[in-house]
């Protein structure tokens, strides 16, 4: 769900999302920053979130990046801390890359035409005029001149980061052998015994349906090159971070960093402290359990989940996590009981995702009858959403297509169950 922080050349995460000042924000932004609902330790807000080789990442810089990268809908409690951490990781990497840019003595220029192009894109994407943009910015205490300067700074930073990565990673080469290998894997089917008995005619037809190497060679080369480049960038960034002195001052992010980097002893200590705090977040119990799992201390991990559910018996995320943990320990019967608790206490008859997750997990555990009941509930919700949409269209005499979310639900309901997929393999 957070691939936008690590896709392609990784540069996209460093762009200033200028359009944000026009759109006025995004849904649920407070959930990413406040002290509740996202694993934020109470009364903990250091002015300097982290330090990288002595370079500071300020609270303002960090929150600004959160603001730019946040999705257009609210994340669940279990997704917020990983999202926050990925944003911090991106900023840490940005600091390290810019330091390398200074070391490489990289100098870049941004032309007025480039600024004009990006400025015009903002007007087009937001479907507003210069005057409307000026009025919107004025309400936010800014001007078009300041916006253009921000665009220029953003483009300059992006070019600098790109060139630093290019020099750090070096040129990526793709051999003819690599192209041939991918072509063989993708287009040349392995002959089975049954195919050997086919007539020459049918073999010729099958061969004719496959593209020739020269027809797809350029696309295959680009695909291989992008993959190799991404791997090279990830490895280069990993080396930079390994050699760097990184200090995280924000307590929750530090604890999660220790968990991610397999420093389980510290993670256990920190998350143990968090769960003892007043008004703690249930997600801390999940991370405490994960830290115990990292130490192969499964009894304590199970106890952490049980303690969490004693304090938060209605928390579905925590109970789903506990069910997954029990399934991993081959305690299927106990896992099913946890799912039964969720099923019996679904907050809303329209909670599609809960029923869908129940279907997935019941299927994995072999509880086919309960899986089918959950799937039927999900189908009913999907049908109701579609019916409501159709009724709305009739009332407004609209000719717009059915809401994409409804279509996506319908498509999701057509997939095989995990057990069926495994059997088919």
Those residues whose C-beta lies under 8 Å from the C-beta of residue 409, and which sit 6 or more positions away, are 352, 378, 381, 382, 385
140 with 68, same domain: the answer is yes
**Do residues 121 and 21 share a domain?**
yes
> Residue 338's pLDDT is what?
97
Kindly state the average pLDDT of the residues 156-166. 95
Residue 195 has pLDDT above 80, yes or no: no
Encoded tokens for 175: 């051999």
Report yes or no: 78 and 286 within 8 Å, Cβ to Cβ.
Answer: yes
What is the extent of the structural domain holding 400? 346-425
For residues 100 and 388, the model is more confident at: 100
Q: Name the pairing type of β-strands 48-52 and 55-58.
A: antiparallel
Q: CA-to-CA distance for 16 and 291, rounded, in angstroms?
A: 35
pLDDT digits (tens, 9 = 90+) for 200-241: 555 544 455 789 999 999 999 999 999 999 999 999 999 999
State whether the Cα torsion 381-387-389-395 is positive or negative.
negative
CATH number at residue 146: 1.10.4030.10
Contact partners, residue 279, CB within 8 Å, separation at least 6: 36, 42
DSSP 192: P
Query: Would you state the structure tokens that stand for residue 422, as one six-digit string?
Result: 């495994």
Task: Give the H or E element holding residue 52.
Answer: strand 48-52
Domain boundary residue, one of 118, 148, 169: 169
Is residue 354 a contact partner of residue 342, using CB atoms and an 8 Å limit? yes
- We report the CATH number of the domain holding residue 316 as 1.25.40
248 belongs to a structural domain: no
Residue with tokens 């109701």: 384
Specify if 253 maps to a domain: no
**Residues 70 and 139 occupy one common structural domain:** yes
164 plus 267 within the same structural domain:
no
Q: How far apart (Å, rounded) are the C-alpha atoms in residues 275 and 281? A: 7
In this predicted structure, the answer to whether residue 192 has a pLDDT above a threshold of 50 is no
Helix (H, G, I), strand (E, B) or coil at 55: strand
42 in the same domain as 113: yes
Which run of H or E residues covers position 56? strand 55-58
pLDDT band at 33 (very low <50, low <70, confident <90, very high): very low
User: What domain count does the chain have?
Assistant: 4
Strands 246-248 and 55-58: unpaired
Q: Do the bridges between strand 246-248 and strand 48-52 make them parallel or antiparallel, or are there none, so unpaired?
A: antiparallel
**Is the pLDDT confidence value at 157 over 60?**
yes
Following DSSP, what letter does each residue of 239-294 receive, concatenated?
A: HHHHHS-EEE-SHHHHHHHHHHTT-HHHHHHHHHHHHHSTT--THHHHHHHHHHHH
Q: What is the DSSP letter of 48?
A: E
pTM: 0.72
| Span 114-134, average pLDDT | 93
Residue 419 lies inside a defined structural domain of this protein? yes
Q: What's the rounded mean pLDDT across residues 412-420?
A: 40
Mean pLDDT of 272-287: 95
pLDDT at 45: 65
Q: Are residues 365 and 314 in the same domain?
A: no
> Same domain for 50 and 191?
no
Residue 185, pLDDT > 50, answer: yes
225 shares a domain with 270: no
Instruction: At 167, list the tokens.
Output: 């020099």
Q: Please say whether the beta carbons of 287 and 252 come within 8 A.
A: no
| Residue 292 sits in the same domain as residue 366 | no
CA separation for the pair 261, 257 (Å, rounded): 6
Boundary of a domain, candidates 122, 151, 169: 169
């Amino acid at each position: 769900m957070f691939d936008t922080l690590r896709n392609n050349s990784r540069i996209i995460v460093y762009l200033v999302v200028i359009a944000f000042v026009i759109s006025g924000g995004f849904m649920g932004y407070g959930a990413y920053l406040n002290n509740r609902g996202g694993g934020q330790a109470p009364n903990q807000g250091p002015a300097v979130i982290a330090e990288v080789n002595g370079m500071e990442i300020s609270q303002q810089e960090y929150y600004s990046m959160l603001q730019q990268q946040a999705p257009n809908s609210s994340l669940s409690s279990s997704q917020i801390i990983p999202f926050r951490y990925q944003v911090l990781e991106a900023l840490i990497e940005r600091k390290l890359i810019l330091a390398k840019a200074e070391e490489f003595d990289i100098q870049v220029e941004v032309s007025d035409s480039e600024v004009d192009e990006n400025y015009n894109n903002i007007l087009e994407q937001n479907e507003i005029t210069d005057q409307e943009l000026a009025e919107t910015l004025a309400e936010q205490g800014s001007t078009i001149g300041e916006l253009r300067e921000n665009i220029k700074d953003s483009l300059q930073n992006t070019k600098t980061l790109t060139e630093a990565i290019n020099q750090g990673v070096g040129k990526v080469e793709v051999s003819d052998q690599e192209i041939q290998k991918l072509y063989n894997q993708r287009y040349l089917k392995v002959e089975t015994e049954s195919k050997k008995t086919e007539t020459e005619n049918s073999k010729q037809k099958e061969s004719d349906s496959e593209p020739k190497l020269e027809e797809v060679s350029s696309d295959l080369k680009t695909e291989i090159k992008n993959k190799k480049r991404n791997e090279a960038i990830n490895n280069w960034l990993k080396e930079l971070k390994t050699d760097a002195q990184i200090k995280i001052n924000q307590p929750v992010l530090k604890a999660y960093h220790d968990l991610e980097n397999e420093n389980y002893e510290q993670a256990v200590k920190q998350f143990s402290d968090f769960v003892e705090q007043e008004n703690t977040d249930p997600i801390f119990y999940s991370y405490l359990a994960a830290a115990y799992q990292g130490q192969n201390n499964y009894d304590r991990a199970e106890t952490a989940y049980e303690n969490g559910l004693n304090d938060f018996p209605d928390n579905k995320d925590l109970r789903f996590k506990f069910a997954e943990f029990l399934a991993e320990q081959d305690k299927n019967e106990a896992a099913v009981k946890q799912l039964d608790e969720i099923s019996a206490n679904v907050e809303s008859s329209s909670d599609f995702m809960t029923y869908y997750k129940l279907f997935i997990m019941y299927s994995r555990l072999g509880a086919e009858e309960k899986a089918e009941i959950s799937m039927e509930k999900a189908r009913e919700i999907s049908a109701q959403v579609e019916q409501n949409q159709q009724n709305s269209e009739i009332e407004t005499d609209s000719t717009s297509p059915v809401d994409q979310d409804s279509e996506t639900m319908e498509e999701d309901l057509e997939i095989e169950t995990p057990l069926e997929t495994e059997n088919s393999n």
